[in-house]
Structure 1
Amino acid sequence: MLQKLPDQFNALVVGASRGIGLGITRALLADARVGRVYGGCREPEQAHEIHATASTDCRLRTLRMDVMDEHTVEEAAGDIRRFCGYLHLVIVTAGVLHDPLGMEPERRLAAFDPEIAARSMQVNAFGPLLVLKHFAPLMASGGTAYFASLSARVGSIGDNRIGGWYSYRAAKAAQNQLVHTAAIELARQHPELVCVTLHPGTVDTDLSKPFQGRVPADRLFDVERASGQLLDVLGGLTAGDSGGFFAWDGAPVPW
């Protein structure tokens, strides 16, 4: 797992309070080579599980980060610059598919709602790019570093065979394009930065729970397994893979 990174490497997980973000945070803390893990949370005071983890491991520090509020992202970058100066790994797991206020995937064209689409785009597409905008200057140079954002296979245009899920598909496709575009630019200044989007598969979290009915048991991953798989995939990538879109098993996903 991330063997190309040096001992005492520093990491940031955005969306660390629950689901895959919490799982990745815990997986990183299980690695003795980790120096510091920063957990970005939209509401840190409500993040009881990550606080419990922090109480047993002083390497974990929580920060307020809301990918819909650029000011909080910029402030978090400033805090990390003061705390440790640089990062070797940034993983963005924050995303939205449905919520208690009525947001849900539009299975039919007639259900398309521009307000839902705008929110999905802001969180799922623009959010990761805002993180990259403010944290790319903090990515350690002179060696391998990783930026990864969790996308989804439904964001693949080439793999779309059943339609539906208009806003979520569009937002994830946009995320892939934005990260790909940034990777091209960043490679000019930081040729050893691996900047990718990752498809975690279907993971047993609140995000996927309403849609798990038809998922084969061997393809519904628990959070611990999914977190380990993603870190293993990331650790196997090189600078030549930067700008790519990869699935949980390391296979490239078509655009």
Structure 2
Amino acid sequence: MDITTHSPRTAAIFGSTGGIGRALCEALVSRGCETVYCGSRDGSAPAGPHFTPFAFDLADEASIKAAAQMMTAQPPEMVIVATGILTLPDGTGPERTYKRLDPDVMAQVFALNTIGPAMIAKHMLRLMPRSDRFVFSAISARVGSISDNGLGGWHSYRASKAALNMLLKNFALEVARTHPEGIVAGLHPGTVDSALSVPFQANLPDGQLTEPDQAAANLLDVLAGLNPANSGRVFDFKGEEVPA
């Protein structure tokens, strides 16, 4: 497939200052995207005429709604939610045993990994064209797979990503009734050299860590190859489906 045939003219990245998010913004422009809405908490964006910054907060639905309203005149053909949390700002990492479960920690992880992306979908999907191809995707994780879970642990993170995957499936089914060319999908980028993975890089085998630029290229290639029949599923950076 010629990936240029499915390169969007307009795209939106929620989480544009993270390692993957920034790389996605730059990769989209390099592939001919004319306008990339770049969303972050402080409203910053890469420099250049093709980047349009906006501010949003995953925990503030009003800010997400305002961001969507800003894009109404020129809605994006591709939306990527490139946000997520594994280690909280106070240093609290994923639980390795149920004995470490804390309701406040769980609430924070679900707010950022599940509820925030759901609110983005709530306000962005309604902007999508009914008759043309569009893509709404969110960064998920292989550890969100229930059937592929052979180790356990990382309870809040795993559960939040599994819940995100279920929501993406739900959205895909609902959107398909009115938007037959629409695609809703989850993406597993692999282990990317970013702030999220830094605390867990020490024990990685050689060659398992991917640079953000390569990760962005991989994910855009995957999205370019999807069609409506793939909607509602989660795909890894090689384009292979992650089991539910």
Q: What TM-score do you get using the length of structure 2 for normalisation?
A: 0.95
CA contact (8 A) 2:9 2:77 kept: yes
Deviation at 1:128, TM superposition (A): 1.2
Cα deviations across residues 195-233 of structure 1 (Å, max 9, x unaligned)?
000100000001001111222222210000000000001
Partner of 1:14: 14
Which of the two has greater helix per residue?
1
Partner of residue 66 from structure 1, selected from 57, 72, 81: 57
Cα deviations across residues 92-127 of structure 1 (Å, max 9, x unaligned)?
011111133132100111111111111111110111
Q: Counterparts in 2 of 1:155-174, with a 5 A limit?
A: 155-174=144-163
The code of the aligned residue for 2:62 comes to H
CA contact (8 A) 2:95 2:101 kept: yes
The 2-side partners of 1:110 and 1:233 are apart by 38
Q: Does 1:237 align with 2:226?
A: yes
The 1-side partners of 2:52 and 2:165 are apart by 29
Unpaired stretches in structure 1, ≥5 consecutive residues: none
Q: Secondary structure of 1:189's match?
A: coil
Partner of residue 197 from structure 2, selected from 187, 196, 208: 208
Q: Does 1:136 align with 2:121?
A: no
Deviation at 1:76, TM superposition (A): 0.5
- Matched residues, number: 243
Q: Counterparts in 2 of 1:76-91, with a 5 A limit?
A: 76-82=67-73, 84=74, 86-91=75-80
Partner of residue 149 from structure 1, selected from 138, 144, 164: 138
Partner of 2:240: 251
The code of the aligned residue for 1:41 comes to S
CA contact (8 A) 1:87 1:140 kept: no
The code of the aligned residue for 1:35 comes to E
Partner of 1:39: 38
Deviation at 1:2, TM superposition (A): 4.7
Partner of 2:30: 30
Unpaired stretches in structure 2, ≥5 consecutive residues: none
Same amino acid, percent of matched pairs:
39
The 1-side partners of 2:229 and 2:4 are apart by 17
Q: Secondary structure of 1:157's match?
A: coil
Cα deviations across residues 21-51 of structure 1 (Å, max 9, x unaligned)?
011011011122x12100011122xx4xx3x
Partner of 2:164: 175
Q: What TM-score do you get using the length of structure 1 for normalisation?
A: 0.91
The 1-side partners of 2:3 and 2:39 are apart by 20
CA contact (8 A) 1:148 1:197 kept: yes
